[in-house]
Structure 1
């Protein structure tokens, strides 16, 4: 097949930091190219350059689309159509090149090309949430100027192509994540695309749902004879879907070739968790005795969310509360943090040499301890329209001179797992420009910059892929190593807690059934609990 896209010596510079460095890549017509790389390696920036709807101030090199174009009406098609008749006006299509680096963002030819590029992102569903699925696709037809009387029929056909005709009358916001992604794909297919850019489209989906989306994408690539560029943290996705793969590291292509070979090299570079098992921990800093929390439910009567549990957490320790949903671990963490009052029992936190009773209100009681405690929710909230430095200083009311604030922010980002140069480079960036793994580390830094002694994290890995989990694991270990933090981690992610925790408490039906080393305690999970925990990730 003819070459469709050529990327030559592409370099993108953000304030002295090269996000892409002399990237060279060719994509053939109808070819699927997979891009692997850690968070922050440049995958998403490359996708944005290829998309062509944004301008970059410091960009050099070439991004050439080889096309067939009608000299009369401007219709464009894939390069293999050169010499054939234009389906719009009948003129002969001619070979034509469009370089996105040279062409202005407002150039009409560039705009014509970008209209034929489909895009799928990890979290941005871009749907009319209160409209039905069918209306969403019809609206997409209207957006490209299609005014035919058969728009409803075309919309139904597109939904059939993505295997979603059984949901066409559902309201979009009530769909699952995988179903929403397939609606997005149907909306993009109205463009009759030449290229599909899929940037982590299934990164937050469970394996079964992801497979349905992947099948829909593969079918669309075949039916429309379009090229696809796919990024993923999941090597097996690239292995299964791509014709060839590239590996990006720090903005550079370090490997290109067979997906299986590139995937193997990628896994060698990211699978190591930097755990130091012989970490010295101190005396207890959290003390829990006979803790209970009961609720009254109309249909269930008395619910024992936490049922007479006792444990200690030592200073400098990474302690895990493990169990399936409903085991009582999140309720326990909220009581530790002082967010929920217990029904009975004792919770004490050591401040200096004094023990503070977390069940008593007031600045001289619970308030003395909570100012030295940080809580990181699963759905952490960064200010997306603010820079990283603002998120770390102004957004949490950290009143420091700017120079000192920058210095403090860099130190904290290093403690959260960033290299110093990277930490300095991302300070002026908006958080939505960063990868998921980078945003999670910034959220951790936002907690750490307040200088807590204890950090409680609720499901820190959520639905993360394995590569981002490694990044999060290392950031927690780094924070403990650099500043001696104590962590209490609530999770049902068995592999994660086994890697990161010094000790874990296994909870079942509100009770602690065992406390000890992760491997020993986790071996007591039932097969049903293991299956349920895997499904919840």
Structure 2
């Protein structure tokens, strides 16, 4: 008997079919990989399996075969049916239609399912890492749960951050703590929607492998979406390939992944561009924080760096190296603790360490920053997000034309872009929202664009599109880009220069291929995927 059955499921948003007659059976203890480009329906399917109200099927059924305790209503996997529950009652096998059952049954099943969403850092920001994990246990005073929490931190490679405050973590580190919190709930089903979307591919593989051994030992069924075909191949027992809401192929991971990779386009050749004069200058730049548990945290520690006009520059390093803090200093979001940072506006150099409209206030309107934990306005359409939501007051027809232009620039086909304008963010996949957020930056035509982990949640095809959009924007609009990334493959494809950071310090600066030679073995393992 299968554990989960998806029967003839169809789901529409605004009369657009996003899941089209899906039929699927998932076995207990199985790791099912779902492969597909952004917008194929992967996240919609996971949210439907979780029981999120907005994702109720328009047609079809989602059926769970479970062991159910009639006394305490505890739900478990079907293989435990007939066993004695902790309350003393014997469990019975039940077939429960998730979207057509009693309210009690619905909540009992939903409580036993964990889901980890793309770029969702739902943490207690003022609590330590270990306290965040402990809050996931029903009995937080149980000493055995402390040991379980530590094991989860080791599994996610975060044991070195046990006593750190959550707000001090990098985006990638926060993602791993969220993963540990979800596992601490001891689910019978774990749904992972790009669970390590902001991590480099090698670290993602390590974490996924540890997760796989952990869930297998506990007989937890896992359904995982990932934009990294290699991860899907390594971890899954079986893979389905979704495209435009349909399962177009299913089978062994190596077979499906091989077919999927063949569809990834190669980047086109771009002509060499002339790099201009210095645009951003940093000299002995520092940003220190004080933490009650860690003392002085040197996020940026004496960085000296020049970025030239028209350059696609990158700042690279492992998670927690200080890259994001440096980007916030450049964007004028935070003030340096010491040192100098200047940005040229026209022919005049502006001191970014000074507040006010005559200093960094003159420059910040000309800088676009896409955070790795970006968000769109949920109650505005995509057209609204690209125009009035960001105070871009344009005549209606011109606003629509300009919106279509930037959407095609970030990889949407013309017909896709036109259909997106009246949609809302929650009707789109994570990868599609990411591209819209990038378009939201580009439409304001800033002189300097800072992208913090721009490829974090993207499938390989979309990743190629983003590379193209950056190169095209530089050619057509004379924009300067600063890429904050641990994805060295992307940097090698896209960037003119790379600045290598470790523990807040700038170690080296040069062409990306030269920086590859300066990587430590750990950095090389975690930051490189295709290149050696």
Give the C-alpha shift of residue 256 in structure 1: 0.8
The secondary structure found in structure 2 opposite 1:475 is helix
8 A contact 1:178–1:210 mirrored in 2: no
Corresponding position of 2:26? 27
Unaligned runs of 5+ in 2: 289-297
1:37-186 map, 5 Å: 37-56=36-55, 59-71=58-70, 74-85=73-84, 88-91=87-90, 93-94=92-93, 96-103=94-101, 107-131=103-127, 136=132, 139-142=135-138, 152-159=142-149, 161-162=151-152, 164=154, 170=163, 173=166, 176-177=173-174, 180-181=177-178, 183-186=180-183
Q: Which residue of 2 aligns with 1:419?
A: 413
> What are the Cα deviations for residues 411-438 of structure 1, in whole angstroms up to 9, with x where unaligned?
3312222123433444455546644433
State the Cα RMSD in Å.
4.8
Distance 1:409 1:450, change over 3 A: same
After TM superposition, give the deviation of residue 441 of structure 1 in Å. 2.0
| 1:65–1:359 Cα change, 3 Å | closer
The number of residues matched between the two structures is: 494
1:227-279 residue CA offsets vs partner (Å, 9 max, x unmatched): 11111122222222211011122222122111111111222222x24324348
Question: What is the TM-score when the length of structure 1 is the normalising length?
Answer: 0.73
In structure 2, C-alpha distance between the alignment counterparts of 1:381 and 1:92, rounded to whole Å = 45
**Match runs of 1:243-392 below 5 Å:** 243-270=237-264, 272-278=265-271, 286-288=276-278, 293=283, 313=310, 319-320=312-313, 334=330, 356-357=347-348, 373-379=366-372, 381-387=374-380, 388-392=382-386
On the 8 A contact 1:162/1:216 being kept in 2, the answer is: no
CA 1:161–1:403 in structure 2 vs 1: closer, same or farther (change >3 Å)?
same
Pairing partner for 2:431 from 437, 441, 450 = 437
Gaps of 5+ in 1: 350-355, 515-520
With normalisation by structure 2, the TM-score equals: 0.74
Instruction: Assess, with a 3 A threshold, how the Cα gap between structure 1 residues 210 and 490 changes in structure 2: closer, same or farther.
Output: closer
Report SS of the residue matched to 1:196: strand
- Residue number among 374, 393, 396 corresponding to 2:390 in the alignment: 396
State how far apart, in whole Å, the 2-side matches of 1:120 and 1:381 are: 17
Relative to 1, partners in 2 of residues 1:524 and 1:433: Cα closer, same or farther, differing over 3 Å?
Answer: same
Superposition deviation, residue 48 in structure 1: 0.3
3-state SS, counterpart of residue 55 of structure 2: coil
Distance 1:297 1:84, change over 3 A: closer
Of the structure 1 ranges 8-17 and 470-479, higher mean CA displacement relative to structure 2 is found in 470-479
Bigger radius of gyration among the two = 1
- Deviation, 1:62, is 1.7
Paired residues of 2:448 and 2:479 also in contact (CA < 8 A): yes
CA distance, structure 1, for counterparts of residue 136 and residue 18 of structure 2: 33
Q: Does the C-alpha gap of structure 1 residues 97 and 403 become closer, same or farther in structure 2, counting only changes over 3 Å?
A: farther
1:171 deviates by 5.7
User: Which residues of 2 match residues 202-217 of structure 1 at below 5 A?
Assistant: 202-206=196-200, 209-210=203-204, 213-217=207-211
Q: Does residue 239 in structure 1 map to residue 236 in structure 2?
A: no
CA contact 2:410–2:438 (8 Å) conserved in 1 = yes
Aligned 8 A contact 2:13 2:427 in 1: no
Q: Structure 1 residues 278 and 478 mapped into 2: Cα distance closer, same or farther (>3 Å)?
A: closer
- C-alpha distance in structure 2 between counterparts of 1:381 and 1:395, whole Å: 14
SS at 2:21 equivalent: strand
